Amino acid sequence: MKNITNTRQEVLLMTTTGFASRQYSETDAPANAKNIPANEQLKQACWNGLLSELLPEIFSYSKKQGKMFLWQIREGRRFFALELSQFPGTLDKYESIDPYRFMEVQELN
């Protein structure tokens, strides 16, 4: 049996920056797309596959590992936590960069 490795990547997109407030152009954008808040536009752009165009440096490494897919977007107070991987699965809280996840398991000094 062949041993399959699943490459996982987690990305935090800060929503209070100029990057998040940019205009994202889509070919099939609805007429009311200008009325959508900037955070929702960023989230829709990620789900619609524009993440590889917005952050090409993330996907240049993953081309060597295999195709990565966006499986989940968790919304924090001032960020989006994106989970990318080759196959669906769960992310270990101990290895997460999401502050809401790793603070749950942080040991007290």
Q: How far apart (Å, rounded) are the C-alpha atoms in residues 61 and 44?
A: 24
**Residue 63, pLDDT above cutoff 60:** no
Average pLDDT over residues 65-93: 84
**Residue 52, pLDDT above cutoff 50:** yes
Average pLDDT over residues 70-78: 89
**Residue 40, pLDDT above cutoff 50:** yes
Average pLDDT over residues 72-100: 83
Percentage, residues of the chain above pLDDT 90: 2
**Residue 25, pLDDT above cutoff 70:** no
**How does DSSP assign 61-83, residue by residue?**
HHHHH---EEEEEEE-SSEEEEE
